[in-house]
Amino acid sequence: MKAPWPLILRCLWVFGLTAALSLLGCAHGGAPKTSKDSIEPPPTPERQAELDLLREASRGNREEVRRLVAQGTQIDAPSASGTTALMSAAFRGLESTVAELLELGARVDLADQDGATALHYALFQNQIPVVRLLLAAKAPLEAQDSSGLTPLMLAARFGSAETVELLLKAGAQLETQDDQGWTALFFAVHRGSPGQAELLLKAGAKVNHQSLGTKQSPLGEAVYLGHRNMIQLLLQYKADAHLKDAGGKSPLDLAKEQGLPRSWLELENSGSGSRSD
Contact 211, 3 (CB under 8 A): no
CA neighbor of 221 nearest in space, from 275, 157, 142 = 157
Domains and CATH numbers, the chain: 1-140 (1.25.40.20)
Distance of alpha carbon 121 from the chain centroid: 7
Contact 61, 91 (CB under 8 A): no
CA neighbor of 270 nearest in space, from 246, 245, 242, 247 = 242
Q: What are phi and psi of 245, to 5 degrees?
A: -85, -175
Per-residue DSSP letter, 29: S
Contact 117, 124 (CB under 8 A): no
Confidence at residue 218, expressed as pLDDT on a 0 to 100 scale: 97
Confidence at residue 265, expressed as pLDDT on a 0 to 100 scale: 55
SS3 of 162, please?
helix
* CA 68 vs CA 30, 56, 57, 187, 275: distances in Å: 20, 9, 10, 40, 63
Amino acid code (one letter) for 260? L
Confidence at residue 17, expressed as pLDDT on a 0 to 100 scale: 44
SS3 of 40, please?
coil
Question: How many residues are listed for the chain in this entry?
Answer: 277
C-beta atoms surrounding 112 within 10 Å: 21
Q: What is the pTM of this model?
A: 0.83
Taking only the tens of pLDDT, the chain with its 277 residues reads: 454 434 444 444 444 444 444 333 333 333 334 444 557 789 999 999 999 999 999 999 999 999 999 999 999 999 999 999 999 999 999 999 999 999 999 999 999 999 999 999 999 999 999 999 999 999 999 999 999 999 999 999 999 999 999 999 999 999 999 999 999 999 999 999 999 999 999 999 999 999 999 999 999 999 999 999 999 999 999 999 999 999 999 998 999 898 887 666 565 544 454 443 3
